[in-house]
Amino acid sequence: MRRKLLLGNWKMNKTPSEALEFCNAAKEMGLAKLARANKVDMGVCVPAVDLQVVKKSLKNSLIVGAENCHWLDHGAYTGEVSIPMLKELNIGWCLIGHSERREYDNETSEKCNLKIKALLANGLVPVYCCGESEATYDAGNTKSFVEEQIIAGFKDLSEEEAAKVVIAYEPIWAIGTGKNASEEIAEDICGFIRKVLKKLYGAKVANKIRILYGGSVKPASVKGYLSQKDIDGALVGGASLDVNSYKQLLTAIL
């Protein structure tokens, strides 16, 4: 049985002081305890400048993840964050290939593959994002597009490595737009992703991998998504910025 996973993505939001306010409020309302009691994994992926304060505050009560990393340990890559830097802060998770990074920062699936391999080699959990544009969706090419992203991102991963990756399906046309894919659309694509994984690694491995849905997820809609057979959780943007909203997301799926 795959554990449910609720993961926030703060994007370029919250100064360190604002991040600390969120953490203090989360502790006061017992968010981590509530999640653990109901066997839900829960956490936030935060900007690099917030990582230290959030990890120090939350310790190991909630997942704390980075929003990006480089695949090399060091070098002349101004502005990048290395995996050893994350490890020294005891960060255990990292988003890879979010659509905004693909669009604005030339994040290709091939680069994502390098990052996934490096994260796994260092014992971190990659959360690999995939998803199609509205034009691709309207053209009926979603499945072929997403399949290419999965195949490229998982290239040369062993069965053992693949089982440790989390996948987040986020249709780009539903991110920050107020639109959201119906439960049926989300399940259809997440189920298709699992079929692709079965072709690559077999049913045993494919059934271990957690697949999240993301895209304008709100407290009112999250339960419907997580009730689907192949959707194991949610990657949440705006609704994870307010601690009360984030708690509502959790209580909605219990």
What residues act catalytically? 98, 170
- 3-class DSSP state of 214: strand
Decide: helix, strand or coil at residue 236.
Answer: strand
Helix (H) / strand (E) containing 190: helix 183-201
Residues 6+ apart with CB under 8 A from 61: 27, 32, 33
CA–CA dist 55, 47 (Å, integer): 12
In whole angstroms, how large is the CA radius of gyration of the chain? 17
Tell me which residue of 162, 82, 88 sits closest to 115, measured CA to CA. Answer: 82
Cβ partners under 8 Å of residue 246, min gap 6: 8, 26, 31, 236, 239, 240
In whole angstroms, give the CA distance from residue 136 to residue 198.
Answer: 24
